[in-house]
Structure formats: structure tokens, C-alpha cells
Amino acid sequence: MGVTEKLDDVPPGTDRLAFREWNDDDLDRFHAICSDPQVMKFVGDGQAWSRDRTGRFIHSAKEMFREHGYCQWALIHKVDGELIGYCGFVNSDDAPEIGWRLAPEYWGKGLATEAARAVLKHGIETLGFQRVIATVQAANVASIRIIEKLGMTQVERFDRDGREVLVYSADAGRLTSG
Ligand SMILES: CC(C)(COP(=O)(O)OP(=O)(O)OC[C@H]1O[C@@H](n2cnc3c(N)ncnc32)[C@H](O)[C@@H]1OP(=O)(O)O)[C@@H](O)C(=O)NCCC(=O)NCCS
């Protein structure tokens, strides 16, 4: 059905992280992340985002949350209360797609994996997703590692504007039973 009774739910927090809806006030901080070339290296065409593009992301996430009950939620680092990126889902023609983006100061601490596990659990157990996909550029080793740790399986490989893209899939039944 895709209709949930708890459309305003966000994933429960973890030891170190909390999820929340986006606010317009998030633009400055989130744009500092999206305008950093090292963050955007394996995202889309690899170009750092303009402030306008970052604003459109926040707007789309708010719309998606309202319409679908999920989005790429704002990710808060509990200890310092900082917005450190996002983790969540976007809808696609195929199945909800999981993704993440963190500020570089917070890389290498297992935070993206922690966030992704909480988001995937929320998608399956609360939102009732039967299947989740992930797309990643083949050169994005850290993201591929996270996807593998989630138990997802590669199902497709294609070229987009000269960049090799991999598609992974996870079946809810297999993940919850595994
Ligand atoms: C991808 C990203 C979210 C990873 O965040 P993170 O919090 O550092 O990830 P984690 O600490 O959970 O580690 C992920 C795994 O990748 C490994 N890893 C991290 N960087 C790596 C690198 N450069 N090369 C190889 N492995 C790497 C880690 O060792 C870890 O694996 P392990 O648990 O087996 O040791 C972060 O680098 C990021 O925001 N990148 C820019 C945005 C982006 O590319 N988003 C994804 C688009 S599909």
C-alpha cells in the first residue's frame, strides 16, 4: 500500500545520532557541507553545490516527508548538537532509495554506518518497505562498504556521463531474518 499510519515519524535515534525534519534555518550549515568539493566528489557530476541547489534539496526533503512519510532526514550529532548531514530515503520508480552524506569532520567514526542501520530498520519495521535500493558511484569505496555492511546485494551496473554507477538492493524478508 505504501501508506503509513505514522507519517510524521522519524527514525529513533542511536547512541550518537538523532534524526529530525529539516528547518529553513539549516541552510547555512548544510550548505557548508554541500559546497565542499571533497564531500561532493562522488555525488552526481561531482560538482560542489550552489546555495540555491542546497536550498532546493531541503525544500524537496520537506515535501517528500510530507507526501511519503520519509525523506533524507537531517542528522544530528548528539554530543555537540550539530547538524552533520543527512541519512534517509528518497522515492524512486523502483523502490525507496537509501542514502547519506556527512560533514568530513565526522568521517571515519562509524557514524554513517550507525545512521544507515537505524534508517534501514525504520524503513522496514515502521514504514513497511519490502525492498530498498542504493545507488553509488563505483569509485565511492566508503559508501560501498556501508552498503555491503547493510547486507545489500549488487543488482545492476551502468554508465552515467562517464561515471560507473552500481545499484544495490535489499529484500526486507532477508534482512530481518538475517
Ligand atoms: C560515505 C560517507 C557517508 C562515509 O561516512 P563515514 O561516517 O566515514 O563512514 P563509516 O565511518 O561508517 O565507515 C564506512 C566504512 O567505509 C570504510 N571507509 C571509509 N573511508 C574509506 C576510504 N576512503 N577507503 C576505503 N574504505 C573507507 C570504513 O573503514 C568503514 O568500513 P569498516 O567498518 O569495514 O571499517 C562519507 O564519506 C561522506 O559523506 N561522503 C560524501 C558523500 C557521499 O559520497 N555520499 C554517498 C553518495 S552514494
Banded model confidence at residue 93, pLDDT cuts 50, 70, 90: confident
Q: What are the tens digits of pLDDT across the range 10-39? A: 999 999 999 999 999 999 999 999 999 999
On the question of pLDDT at 79 being above 50, the answer is: yes
- Atom index in ligand 1 nearest the CA of residue 135 equals 48
Cα 102 to averaged position of ligand 1 atoms, centre (Å): 9
pLDDT at 173: 83
Q: Ligand 1, atom 44: nearest CA belongs to which residue? A: 42
Could you tell me the end-to-end alpha-carbon distance of the chain, in angstroms, rounded to an integer?
25
Say which CATH class 17-177 falls into.
Answer: alpha beta
Half-sphere exposure of 135 (CA within 13 A, CB side): 18
Encode the chain in three state secondary structure.
Answer: CCCCCCCCCCCCCCCCEEEECCCHHHHHHHHHHHCCHHHHCCCCCCCCCCHHHHHHHHHHHHHHHHHHCCCEEEEEECCCCEEEEEEEEECCCCCCEEEEEECHHHCCCCHHHHHHHHHHHHHHHCCCCCEEEEEEECCCHHHHHHHHHCCCEEEEEEEECCEEEEEEEEEHHHHHHC
pLDDT over threshold 80, residue 1: no
pTM confidence score: 0.94
- The pLDDT value recorded for residue 44 is 95
Q: What is the dihedral of CA 140, 141, 144, 149, to 10 degrees?
A: -150
Distance 4 CA to ligand 1 centre (A): 31
The rounded Å distance from CA 67 to ligand 1 centre is 30
Q: Is the CB of 59 under 6 A from ligand 1?
A: no
**So where are the chain's domains?**
17-177
CB of 111 shorter than 6 A to ligand 1 = yes
Distance separating alpha carbons of residues 37 and 43, to the nearest angstrom: 10
14 lines ligand 1 (CB under 6 A): no
The string of pLDDT tens digits covering residues 114-139 is 999 999 999 999 999 999 999 999 99
